Chains A and B, each alone.
Chain A
Amino acid sequence: MNTLSRASRATLVAATAALVLSACGGSDDDTSSEGTGDGGSSDDMTVTFLPKNLGNPYFDTSSTGGEAAAEEFGGTFEEVGPQEATPDGQVQYINTAAQQGVSALVVSANDPTAIGAALDQARDAGTKVVTFDSDTEPQFRDVFVNQADAEGIARAQVDLIAEQIDGDGQIAILSASANATNQNAWIELMEEELAANHPDIELVETVYGDDDDQMSFDRTAALLQTYPDLEGIVSPTTVGIAAAARYLSDSDFQGEVALTGLGTPNQMREYVQDGTVEAFALWNPEDLGYLAAFTAHALVNGDITGEEGDTFEAGRLGEYTVGADGVVLLGDPFVFDADNIDDFDF
C-alpha cells in the first residue's frame, strides 16, 4: 500500500494553506504552424518580416499590413519566422536574411538583447533593421515602431468609458495582477485623466483578476454585487475584458453596466454582437505592420536615418516623425465596435 508519510502530508497541508488561490495565470506560449519563406529575391527592395513566431493570428494580421505596404511602394515582401517564440529561433532567420542581403528586416523581438549580435551582423552587411511590437535595446536597430504609448492607451480607455456612461457615475477597473508594471502605469494615467477631465466619474475600486479567466470572471461578479450603482468597468487586459464580458452577457447587468478596455476582436466578437460591449480598444496590428514596412522603406531610400525629427510618408497613414531613441509611434489605439469587428481576425 502506498501512503504518504506524516511529514509529507504535513508539507502538503502547509503548501495548500500557503498557496491556495494564489496561483497565477498560465503562461502564454505561442502557437506555431507551418512557416513560409519563399526566398524570392528581386532587384528591387526586399522587406523581410520576422515576427515572434508564425501561425500567430496577431502577426498574421501585421504581415497582411506589411504586404499591402510593400505592394504600394513596389517592394518585395517576405515573411519568415520560428515555430516557437524563442530568441534562438529568430537568430538563424536573421543570419539567413543578412546572407541574402535583404534591404530591410522588420523584427518583433523575442528578447531585447539575445538577438542583438545577429542584428549587428545584418546591419554591418547593409540591411536596415526595424523593430515593431517588441523592441530590442536601441543600439541593435535603426527604428522601433511602437504600437501605442501609455498615455494614448490610458486616454483611449477613459474616453470610451466616459462616452458609454455619459461622463457621470461610478466605474471600477479590472486589472491583471497587482504587480504588472504596464497595467499599473496605465491605471495611474487613467486616474490622472479621470481627475483632470471627468470629475463626475468616480473610480470606486481596482480589482485584480491575475489574467486568469476564472478569477477575472469571479472578480467581476463581486464588483457588481459590491457596488449596485456601478455604471461601468474598464479592463485594460485582454483576458480580463473577455471574462467580464462573459459574466455580463448572461447576467441582469447586460446593457446596464458598460464594459470597455483592451481586447482582441476574436475574443470579443460574441459580446459585441450580443450588445454586451459597445466598443473596446487595441492597436490595429495591420496598421502596425503597414507602418513598419513603410518605415523600412524610408530607411532604405535614405529618407530617414532614425534620427529624432526625421519625417517620412507612410502611405494611407500619412506623415510620421521619428521621436526620441529612434521610436516611431503608430498613434492612438484603434477602437473596435460592431461596425468594424468583422473586418478583423486575430
Chain B
Amino acid sequence: MSFRRKLFFGRDPYSREGGELFLAAMRETLEKNAAGSDKYAEILKREGFSPEMLKTEADLANIPPIPTLYFKRNRLFCVPESKLMIRAASSGTSGSTSEVGFDLSTLLIGFGTLRRFFRFHRITSIIPTNYIVLGYEPAKHNRAGAVKTAHLTTKFAPALRREYALKDNGAGYDINIEGIRKALLGYAKSPFPVRFVGFPAYMYFLLKTLEKEGISLALPARSAVLLGGGWKEFSGQSVDRAELLELIEARLGIKKERCFEFFSAVEHPLAYLKCACGHFHIPAYSRVIIRDAETLEPLPEGEAGLLNFITPLVSSMPLCSVITDDIAMMSAEPCPCGNTAPYFDLLARSGVSGIKTCAAEAGERLVDS
C-alpha cells in the first residue's frame, strides 16, 4: 500500500499521529508529479527543491508553492490526458477559470476520504431525502467543479427528488424561484428530511424570500443545510453567519447543529468543515501554511496572510502546495468545540472589486487581437 493511501485511509480524519506518514506521502506524490511533468520538474529544480529534502514538517514550506492563478493560465498535467477520468473547471469568481483533471487513483482516494469525512461528521444518512440544490443543475455544457461538488453532495443521503435553483434549458440556465418555492412547500408536507445544498448567497436569498412572504416551515427532523463555495458575485452582501443560522432556524426549523458550512477549492479537492465556533479544522491529510502577503514567507500563528494548502492527494497534477486567493489566519488557541486539530479562519479574498481604472482594458483587447 502506498504511503498516500495509508495516510488518507486513516480512521480519524483529525488524528495528529501520522506526522512521518504525511511526510512520506508528500515525498511520494512530489516524486510522481516531477516524474510525470518535465515542466514541474524544471520548476522544482529552478527553485532548488527536491522531494528527498523533505525531512521535517518545517521543510513543507520549501515546496515551491503555486498560486491557483497559475492553473487558470496554464495546463499542467503529470499524467497523459487520456488518464484523466474527470475534468472540472473552477467557478472563476474573478472571470477566469482553472482547468483541473484527476486520474483514477486520485478520485478513488478523494471520494473515499470525502465519504469517511462526511460519515465522521454524521452527514451521511441512509434515510431517503428531498433535495433543494441552490446552484446549477448538472448539464453537458457546464463543467464547473461546483456543479460536480453539489451533485456529489446529494449522494450522501439517497435522493428522492432534487429541485435546482438554476435549471438547465439545454443551452444555459433559467432561475427557478417558483419551482424551488413549490418544491419546498411540497417537501414540507412529506415525512422525509430535506437537504439544502449549495452557495450561501442563494440560501440567504431564499430565506429572505420566505421571510418576505411570511412563510415559516417546520421541516422534518434530520433535515440539514450543506453550504459551500463562498458568496460568489454577492460578496457585497455577505451576511453575518449568526444571522444566516438564525434565519434558517426561523424559516425552516433546522437547528444550527444541522447546518454545515464547507470550504474547498477545485485546485485543492478536500473538504473543510466549519466547526461550531466558526473555524476550519485541518485534517490529518493536509497542512496549512499562512504566507506573508508580500514576501510569501511563512507567518507565525495569529498573523493574517495568503492561504497555502499542502496535501499529497493529487497524482495527476502538481497540486502538492497550492496558494489560494484567500486571506486567512491560523491560531494556536485551543478551540472550544473540542476538536484538537489546528484550524484556520478565512478573513477575506485577495484583490478588490470595483477598482476604477481607465488604463487596463485598452491593452487587454490589444493582446487578444
Q: Do A and B bind each other?
A: no
Residues of B within 8 A of A (CB): none
Residues of A within 8 A of B (CB): none
